[in-house]
C-alpha cells in the first residue's frame, strides 16, 4: 500500500509540474495583444507574401502565430467547437471575385461579434471580392463602383517613383482628430500610400472613424477611363479616407488599409522626395506597427479594476480628500435618501505588454451617472491617487430625495479606446420612523409647538384660577354667602 500511495503522489507531483511548466511557456509565447495571438493571413499567392516579410517578422516578434491560408481552402474554418479558431485576420488582396464558403460576409460579421479583429488591405491593382464589398456595405463603408480606381494627388506625391502618374501619396503621420481624442498613429515621419483605394464613410454609424484622410487636393481616378475628370470622380479631398476603422460595441476592431503596398518591404525603408525636393525616409514600418497594434488590441485598451462605493461623512474644515471619511462597509446594497456617498473606480490603459495609469485628456471628462430611468446626477470623476499601473477616480455626492432602484454607471466611449460600461445597482430607501428629525429641530414646527405649550399653559392657568375662586360658606348655617 505504501508503494501505491507513493506512486500516486509521484504522479500528482509530475502532473502539477507539467501544468506549471505549460503555463510558464504559454506566458512566454503570449502575444502583446490582450485577446490572443492566433493570426490568420488570407492570401491566394503564398509566394507573394515574401514582399511583406518584414511586416510578418515584426508581428512574430510581438508574439503572434501566423497561419497563411488560401480563401479557397475547404478545410479553413473561422470557428471550431463553437469558439473562434483565430483571434485576428489579415486579408491581402485577391484576384478572385469570391472568398469561398468559409469567408462569407455573415461569417465575418459573426467573427467580429465574437470579439475577433480584422485588418483588411486593398489595392487598386486587384478588384475587391464581392464578399468584401458586401461586408463593407454592412459597415457603411463605400468603395468606388468600378473597383479599379485609385487616389491621385498632383501636389503630395513621390517624385522619385510616381513622377508621371502621381499615384504614390506622401502624407504626414496623422494627428489627433480632436484635442480630447488620443492619437495612436502619430509621429513626425512621412507615410507613403502607393496606389491607394479610396473609401467613403457613411454618416449613419457612430462606430466609424477615419484614421488617415486624403488632402484637399486628392481625388479618386480611374486610370482606364481617360475621359473622367475630378468633378466626376467617386470622392474628392477630405471625403476620401485612406485608412478607416470601425470599433464595434463589443470593442472588436475592423480596419481598412487602402494601400497594401504600404506594407511592402520596399516602402518600409524607402527614400522618397516630395515637391519640396527634400529626400526623406518613410515611416511606413512604424505606422504599420501602430496600425496593427491598435487593430489587434495591443493599444487603446482600457481595463477597469476595483469599483467601490460607500457612505461618507464630509468635514468641511479639512482640505481635499481628507474632508471625506468612510462610514460603514464597502459596496452596501441599500442606501437612504439624502445620504452622502463616495464612488471610486480604478482605470488602467493596456499598451503592448503592460498596464499604465490612465489619464483623461484636457477637454474630456470621465463621468459617473447615478441613474434610475434617467440620470439624477452626472458628475465628473476626479483622479485622487495613482499606482504603478492604474489611476483611481472618485467623486462624493448626496443621494436624491427619491427612493427606488438606482445604478452607479460609468459609460465611457471614445474614438480609438475600448468601450467601458460599468453598472452597480443599489436600493435607495426612505427615512425610517426613528430617523426623522425631532420636531423641535425643525424651525417650521416652532409655531405649532408654541401653540401647544400656550394651550397647556392656558389650561393650567384656568384650572388654577378656578380652584382659587371657590365660593365662601357661612360657618354656622352652612349657607353660601351671596
Q: Cβ contacts of residue 53 below 8 Å, gap of 6+?
A: 265
Q: How confident is the model at residue 317 (pLDDT cuts 50, 70, 90)?
A: low
State pLDDT tens for residues 159-179: 988 878 898 999 999 999 888
Count other Cβ atoms within 10 Å, centred on residue 248. Answer: 17
Q: pLDDT at residue 57 above 80?
A: yes
- The predicted pLDDT at position 74 comes to 85
All three cell numbers of 241 = 479616407
- The predicted pLDDT at position 454 comes to 94
Q: pLDDT at residue 127 above 90?
A: no
Percentage of residues of the chain with pLDDT beyond 70: 87
Q: pLDDT at residue 475 above 80?
A: no
Angle at 57 between CA 56 and CA 63, to 5 degrees: 95
Q: How confident is the model at residue 73 (pLDDT cuts 50, 70, 90)?
A: confident
- The predicted pLDDT at position 451 comes to 93
Whose cell is 475547404? That residue is: 74
- The predicted pLDDT at position 325 comes to 74
- The closest alpha carbon to 428, from 410, 401, 388, belongs to 401
Which phi-psi region, left, alpha or beta, contains residue 330 (left: φ > 0; alpha: ψ -120 to 50)?
beta
Q: How confident is the model at residue 31 (pLDDT cuts 50, 70, 90)?
A: low
Q: pLDDT at residue 361 above 70?
A: yes
Q: pLDDT at residue 326 above 50?
A: yes
Least confident of 12-21, 197-206, 313-322, 436-445: 12-21
In DSSP terms, 378 is beta-bridged to 369
Rounded Cα gap, residues 69 and 44, in angstroms: 8
State pLDDT tens for residues 240-270: 999 999 999 999 999 999 999 999 999 998 9
Q: pLDDT at residue 440 above 80?
A: no
- The predicted pLDDT at position 445 comes to 84
All three cell numbers of 17 = 509540474
Q: How confident is the model at residue 10 (pLDDT cuts 50, 70, 90)?
A: low
Q: How confident is the model at residue 233 (pLDDT cuts 50, 70, 90)?
A: confident
- The predicted pLDDT at position 311 comes to 92
User: If you average pLDDT over every residue of the chain, what do you get?
Assistant: 86
Q: pLDDT at residue 476 above 80?
A: no
Stretch 435-462: mean pLDDT: 87
Angle at 161 between CA 195 and CA 242, to 5 degrees: 25
- The predicted pLDDT at position 44 comes to 87
Q: pLDDT at residue 224 above 50?
A: yes
Q: How confident is the model at residue 18 (pLDDT cuts 50, 70, 90)?
A: very low
Question: What is the reported pTM?
Answer: 0.82
Count other Cβ atoms within 10 Å, centred on residue 402. Answer: 12
Q: How confident is the model at residue 138 (pLDDT cuts 50, 70, 90)?
A: very high
All three cell numbers of 349 = 490603459
- The predicted pLDDT at position 478 comes to 53
Q: Cβ contacts of residue 88 below 8 Å, gap of 6+?
A: 33, 35, 36, 38, 39, 40, 64, 116, 117, 118, 119, 295, 296
Amino acid at each position: 500500500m505504501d508503494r501505491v500511495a507513493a506512486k500516486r503522489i509521484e504522479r500528482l507531483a509530475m502532473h502539477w509540474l507539467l501544468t506549471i511548466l505549460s503555463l510558464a511557456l504559454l506566458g512566454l509565447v503570449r502575444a502583446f495583444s490582450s485577446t490572443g495571438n492566433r493570426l490568420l493571413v488570407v492570401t491566394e499567392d503564398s509566394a507573394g507574401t515574401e514582399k511583406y516579410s518584414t511586416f510578418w517578422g515584426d508581428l512574430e516578434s510581438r508574439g503572434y502565430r501566423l497561419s497563411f491560408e488560401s480563401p479557397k481552402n475547404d478545410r479553413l474554418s473561422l470557428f471550431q467547437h463553437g469558439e473562434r479558431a483565430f483571434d485576428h485576420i489579415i486579408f491581402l488582396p485577391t484576384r478572385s471575385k469570391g472568398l469561398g464558403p468559409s469567408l462569407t460576409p455573415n461569417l465575418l460579421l459573426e467573427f467580429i461579434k465574437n470579439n475577433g479583429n480584422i485588418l483588411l488591405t486593398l489595392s487598386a491593382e486587384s478588384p475587391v471580392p464581392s464578399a468584401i464589398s458586401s461586408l463593407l456595405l454592412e459597415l457603411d463603408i463605400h468603395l468606388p463602383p468600378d473597383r479599379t480606381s485609385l487616389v491621385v494627388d498632383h501636389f503630395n506625391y513621390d517624385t522619385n517613383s510616381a513622377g508621371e502618374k502621381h499615384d504614390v501619396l506622401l502624407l504626414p503621420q496623422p494627428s489627433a482628430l480632436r484635442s480630447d481624442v488620443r492619437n495612436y498613429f502619430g509621429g513626425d515621419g512621412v507615410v507613403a500610400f502607393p496606389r491607394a483605394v479610396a473609401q467613403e464613410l457613411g454618416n449613419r454609424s457612430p462606430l466609424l472613424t477615419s484614421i488617415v484622410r486624403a488632402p484637399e487636393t486628392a481625388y479618386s481616378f480611374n486610370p482606364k477611363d481617360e475621359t473622367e475628370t475630378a468633378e466626376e470622380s467617386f470622392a474628392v479631398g477630405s471625403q476620401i479616407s485612406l485608412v478607416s476603422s470601425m470599433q464595434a460595441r463589443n470593442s472588436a476592431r475592423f480596419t481598412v488599409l487602402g494601400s497594401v503596398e504600404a506594407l511592402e518591404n520596399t516602402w518600409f525603408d524607402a527614400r522618397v522626395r516630395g515637391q519640396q525636393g527634400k529626400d526623406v525616409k518613410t515611416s511606413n514600418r512604424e505606422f504599420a506597427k501602430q496600425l496593427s497594434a491598435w487593430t489587434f488590441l495591443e493599444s487603446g485598451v482600457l481595463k477597469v479594476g476595483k469599483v467601490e462605493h460607500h457612505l461618507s461623512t464630509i468635514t468641511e474644515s479639512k482640505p481635499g480628500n481628507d474632508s471625506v471619511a468612510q462610514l460603514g462597509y464597502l459596496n452596501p446594497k441599500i442606501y437612504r435618501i439624502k445620504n452622502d456617498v463616495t464612488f471610486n473606480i480604478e482605470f488602467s490603459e493596456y499598451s503592448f505588454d503592460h498596464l499604465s495609469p490612465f489619464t483623461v485628456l484636457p477637454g474630456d471628462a470621465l463621468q459617473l451617472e447615478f441613474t434610475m430611468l434617467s440620470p439624477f446626477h452626472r458628475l465628473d470623476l476626479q483622479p485622487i491617487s495613482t499606482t504603478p499601473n492604474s489611476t483611481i477616480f472618485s467623486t462624493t455626492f448626496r443621494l436624491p430625495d427619491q427612493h427606488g432602484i438606482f445604478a452607479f454607471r460609468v459609460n465611457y466611449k471614445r474614438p480609438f479606446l475600448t468601450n467601458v460600461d460599468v453598472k452597480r445597482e443599489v436600493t435607495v430607501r426612505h427615512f425610517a420612523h426613528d430617523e426623522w428629525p425631532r420636531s423641535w429641530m425643525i424651525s417650521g414646527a416652532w409655531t405649532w409647538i408654541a401653540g401647544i405649550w400656550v394651550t397647556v399653559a392656558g389650561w393650567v392657568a384656568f384650572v388654577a384660577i378656578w380652584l382659587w375662586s371657590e365660593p365662601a360658606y357661612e360657618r354656622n348655617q352652612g349657607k353660601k354667602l351671596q
